[in-house]
Amino acid sequence: MNIALMMENSQAAKNPIILKELESVSDSLGHNVYNVGMNSEDDHHLTYVHLGIMAGVLINAGAVDFVFAGCGTGQGALMALNAQPGVFCGYCIDPSDAFLFNQVNNGNALALPFAKGFGWGAELNARYIFEKALTGERGAGYPVERREPQVKNAGILADLKAALACENYVDTLKKMDPALVKVAVSGERFRQCLVENSKDEEIKSYVLSL
């Protein structure tokens, strides 16, 4: 599985800590991690709105299978990611949240708070969240006897989001402020992840042309 980690300016200094925990969990499970957001305060400047667009591009291009994003409280990232077609982003503050989100909602992204509640033990909590988010059967239901309606509802939400969106994600990108999109897709590691992993030529070409 290809996993993207996306952090924005307000908590960029914590990227090495979070990345280390994510890589440690992902490596042991055979997943690949792409650190496509800011990796320090001096990196290419991104806000949570940019993270939403980045997640939209990578998910819709099939370049990554799952996104971990975040900001100070995680709420901005949460709303920005969910604003994008094809992105289904939950919110996670403890390991059980991660497990339940997989079982009940089976989405493709999680937003985390990187400042709210972030004190001693926060990197441990992040690791435990990654462990539970990345293991176990997905969409198995919780409690298990509620699997059927839960899977059904996830499908209905997916259909609804698809119905509200353009058929083509490139058209979605064209509807957004070009200056905003350009900043979102200009990061070097982001572009490399897209080039190496995109399964959608049209999205890739369009993004690289910006």
Which residues make up the interface to a second copy (CB under 8 A)? Answer: 10, 47-49, 52, 72-76, 78-80, 82-83, 85, 88-91, 93-97, 99-101, 104-105, 107, 113, 115-122, 124-125, 128, 132, 142-143, 146, 149, 153-154, 156-157, 159-161, 163-165, 172, 175-177, 180
* 13/93 with CB nearer a second copy: 93
Q: Which is nearer to a second copy, 106 or 197 (CB)?
A: 106
Residue 29: Cβ within 10 Å count: 12
Residue 16: cis peptide before it, omega within 30 degrees of 0: no
Residue 159 or residue 188: which is nearer to a second copy going by CB?
159
- The β-bridge partners of 112 are 70
Nearer of residues 34 and 59 to a second copy, judged by Cβ: 59
For 158-163, the CB contacts below 8 A with 24+ separation are 158/88, 161/85, 161/86, 161/88, 162/85, 162/86
> What element of type H or E holds 129?
helix 122-133
Least CB distance from residue 126 to a second copy, whole Å? 10
In the complex, what is the shortest distance from the CB of residue 49 to a second copy, in angstroms, rounded to a whole number?
A: 5
Nearer to a second copy, 31 or 83 (CB): 83
Q: How far is the CB of 113 from a second copy (least distance, A)?
A: 8
Minimum CB distance to a second copy, residue 32 (Å): 25
- Cα distance between residue 18 and residue 135, in whole Å: 18
Least distance from C-beta 116 to a second copy, angstroms? 4
Give the span between the Cα atoms of 128 and 106, in whole angstroms: 18
In Å, how far from its chain's centre is CA 157?
18
